[in-house]
Structure 1
């Protein structure tokens, strides 16, 4: 999803950047810089305008404090901030949208106003919108729609939405982009990039090391977001990923009536996740909605690697039947397979409290450079992450970690990889949304059971190897950890079925790949020359309700079906070892 266009204009501009920015299709910081260097008065005027408006706002807050009118004026000041962000345009509106999802960071009076930035912005005139539709689709409004709302039902930072019905009868949402967006977006990105160069040295150590890259990532995503054909493709890819998930709803795209600046998609009957009255009227469980949201977010990151980078309440709806509908796919990102696996590794190492490996994971993810000496960093990670997790993993929340982790930026050479700015924004936004539904929410209440189930039901060799990392430490089998994983996997899923997992595990155990595990299990069972009957009994009590003779027989048959003759032969030494366990001395000698 990331397009590299440095050093080459992708829009056919002349070398002086003199042609219209409205022709630009992909974010090209070099072309944008050339354009505005030849027009410095535009950059100066915009900078003065931004500084003037925020200075007036900050002075107003100070004046309220000096005159004792802060409480009386708090609502008018909140509205003033919303109006400033609205006047400054889409770039600053997006900043306000991000803040509107953090009830733990923003005062309620400001939060209520910033929430209006999600879909209550001033619309542009409907005649202009209809003219854009007719020009883009090359037919009249009457030819396309049997009926269409005379006014937009929602207006956001980049476009506005009309409710309509096609001539063929389907009810649709028609998304029309605001005219002349690029001049504003490109100027703001140019100024942000310019500011990042002189801000970076003022920030601690490597915190500002790649500030320009983060601006470029944001710019790339903004350009993708204003290409509605790209958004349509994203929606279909996202829908394919969740095709088997009955809790997630994605609208269909009507390609015949869509273009780069107009998108026609299936109408979703639903309401905002923050509309508590509608949630109560529909008898929906808010904690179930949180679980759907967090689980779908984790699946996006850890399973598919294709994630929604802008999940604010204006883009997420609850349906009356309890589904979660995603309706905006302009800002998406794609993780590589290597990055997905490293994220799972980091979770496993965090569960194991193996902070040296966590430090190595940070190197692989780009938070630390490969030449960084991680030895002094390991104790610091243990202090921060150990305190965040506490004695109980359920005490964890994402904001706790980010707040404590920020202190490490001042002491150690951590830096923020550009792509992780979007991941962190997505995670913070989702947690903020969950907090607005339930202030007592902790993300690990859902995340940890999900990870436990993923490890226990690992469908790939890579995930099964990671399960082994969790279950073995210093060559010893961690009985209690296996018990905890099974118990936690069940904690938020009463329907969690251990038998499919057992079949996968048995197949793995009987395979050539499972040779090491067979040896380790035998050694674990007879460790210190005794059969660990207590641990086996505890595990049995945990799983016995799942073990029905007929189902157990089917599992065994299913596992043995995939066993080759060579695999069966390889089992014999392990079985012999179990029947005639090695002595303590022989174990020591080996």
Structure 2
């Protein structure tokens, strides 16, 4: 494709994304804002489900047709089970795996240009059929050359290769998303709760990191080091000699996909136990290592069968791949999440509000009394229920709760901090995956032991702090009589003096400020009085106006 043709294709792509967004914004504005103002809320509510499903289908077609970041946007939407209706999330589930593959010839051109060698020299064998196709690249099985196999100790590998021209496509998609974000900020309901342009920029940063395979390789090494001594976790080894920014070669660790429950049972592995271990590992990533795999969808996690070495030991381990999307958890966010987890497992509504403020989701200025009451009601009725139990609750109960507290929640100054986007994605995918592995999975049961451990750690830290404070207080108390005796001796000998020069300078400064304030008041009085007297007694009024300049000059220049 010539440069002119490529530029034309990119402009058409940009316009197609914006026209799609404009049409959808117009429909949302009409049904969700205009009709309710004219007393036709019932039409909006009655048609919301079908409208959301049609929107998801249209976006699905757009994403598959365009590829690039549109696939990533759809994948993110499909994981937001917490805020998006099932009509959208279910329709977009297919985007996790169903991405058209790039022809082998195009992939080979990119890979050979990056590696600087023909495939015949770099690999003993290369499978032309991709094992997986993603939005930004695709993976093929291969076998290293004899010499590379000896040097690395590896033979069978997976080679990830970027899609041709993906850099330009990402740039076009981000430009369109930035424009859509600016449109969204014109909607007050959105602008009051989220900084859409900031979220797009965070998404952009993540996307740029994801198309840099050397960055992904470094993240994989860091993740591997974090769990080096953990028998629950496996990670691939990086073949650095055959890796560049656009090509990544790593050991082949493919096994049973985590969502293939039939294959798990056939291997003698209990899917419910897999769900428990998966939840534990994700908690560890957040609270222990502060480095989280932010794309834990089924294609990126395998269950590797093991031979149980001892009674009671597990017969499997979880193997993570694809480290292009990782979330860093800063200290303040991790502390807030600890508070949140402890508050949720303890059904502590006040603690939950404090945690939301610490994280930054709820601004400190919010009036939280009603929110605490709503959370107490929520905990007392639905607290401790798993997804399977919640599915059996009468929908009218949720409706009644929403009617009672919906306006209050919508009025709160809520926002989504920038560093929460990837973490929310990871949590959403984890929750959905565990529930699919074990329909009776209860996130409260998974979180409670972890929260207890965090609470014990915090209590131990508090006891250490109290012990240190007690030791410091005892030391001060021990030295206090001697210091008092020394001071009394100096007073008796007449050796105690006081330096009041700084205090005198401050008093002089305050006195000067008081004079300047008085001059300012005098200026205002003379100015107003002169203005009032000019119509009736012009000479006196003009004199007052002229003389008022003197206190003004004193007020402005006295300090100088």
TM range (shorter): 0.5 to 0.7
Separation in 1, partners of 2:387, 2:17: 48
Separation in 2, partners of 1:338, 1:384: 27
1:513 Cα deviation after fit: 4.6
Separation in 2, partners of 1:429, 1:209: 21
Equivalent position to 1:227, from 205, 212, 224 = 212
Separation in 2, partners of 1:51, 1:313: 33
1:118 aligns with 2:96: yes
Equivalent position to 1:268, from 244, 253, 258 = 253
Structure 1 vs Structure 2 CA RMSD: 4.2
1:347 Cα deviation after fit: 2.4
Structure 1 segments unaligned to the other structure (5+ residues)? 1-18, 23-34, 57-74, 469-507, 517-565, 567-590
Structure 2 segments unaligned to the other structure (5+ residues)? 28-52, 307-315, 476-560
Q: After superposition, give the CA deviation of every residue in 1:264-301 in whole Å (9 maximum; x if it has no partner).
A: 01101302111122112111110111112111111111
Given that 1:393 and 1:444 are in contact with CA atoms closer than 8 Å, whether structure 2 keeps it comes out as no
Q: After superposition, give the CA deviation of every residue in 1:192-228 in whole Å (9 maximum; x if it has no partner).
A: 2222223234253755431211111111111111110
Equivalent position to 2:342, from 334, 345, 348 = 348
1:302 Cα deviation after fit: 1.0
Equivalent position to 1:87, from 65, 78, 83 = 65
**Higher alpha-carbon deviation: 229-238 or 338-347:** 338-347
1:45 Cα deviation after fit: 4.6
Given that 2:193 and 2:414 are in contact with CA atoms closer than 8 Å, whether structure 1 keeps it comes out as no
CA distance change for structure 1 residues 333 and 396 in 2, over 3 Å: closer, same or farther? farther
Separation in 2, partners of 1:143, 1:54: 53
SS in 2 for 1:243: coil
1:40 Cα deviation after fit: 7.6
SS in 2 for 1:431: helix
| Correspondence for 2:549 | none
Equivalent position to 1:331, from 325, 328, 335 = 325
Separation in 2, partners of 1:144, 1:340: 44
| Correspondence for 1:423 | 423
| Correspondence for 2:511 | none
Separation in 2, partners of 1:381, 1:110: 26
Higher helix residue share: 2
Separation in 1, partners of 2:123, 2:459: 50
| Correspondence for 1:47 | 18
| Correspondence for 1:485 | none
Given that 1:101 and 1:313 are in contact with CA atoms closer than 8 Å, whether structure 2 keeps it comes out as no
Given that 2:305 and 2:317 are in contact with CA atoms closer than 8 Å, whether structure 1 keeps it comes out as yes
| Correspondence for 1:285 | 270
Equivalent position to 1:248, from 220, 233, 245 = 233
CA distance change for structure 1 residues 385 and 89 in 2, over 3 Å: closer, same or farther? farther
Separation in 2, partners of 1:387, 1:55: 38
Given that 2:77 and 2:89 are in contact with CA atoms closer than 8 Å, whether structure 1 keeps it comes out as no
Structure 1 segment 391-406 matched on structure 2, within 5 A: none
1:98 Cα deviation after fit: 3.8
TM-score (norm. length: structure 1): 0.62
Separation in 1, partners of 2:390, 2:190: 27
SS in 2 for 1:204: helix
Separation in 2, partners of 1:416, 1:76: 27
1:369 Cα deviation after fit: 2.9
1:338 Cα deviation after fit: 2.5
CA distance change for structure 1 residues 362 and 103 in 2, over 3 Å: closer, same or farther? closer
1:131 aligns with 2:86: no
Aligned residues: 418
TM-score (norm. length: structure 2): 0.65
1:318 Cα deviation after fit: 1.2
| Correspondence for 2:180 | 195
Given that 2:181 and 2:197 are in contact with CA atoms closer than 8 Å, whether structure 1 keeps it comes out as yes
Separation in 2, partners of 1:260, 1:118: 24
Separation in 1, partners of 2:437, 2:181: 35
Structure 1 segment 89-108 matched on structure 2, within 5 A: 89-98=67-76, 100=78
Structure 1 segment 468-483 matched on structure 2, within 5 A: none
Equivalent position to 1:259, from 240, 244, 249 = 244
| Correspondence for 1:161 | 139
1:449 Cα deviation after fit: 1.6
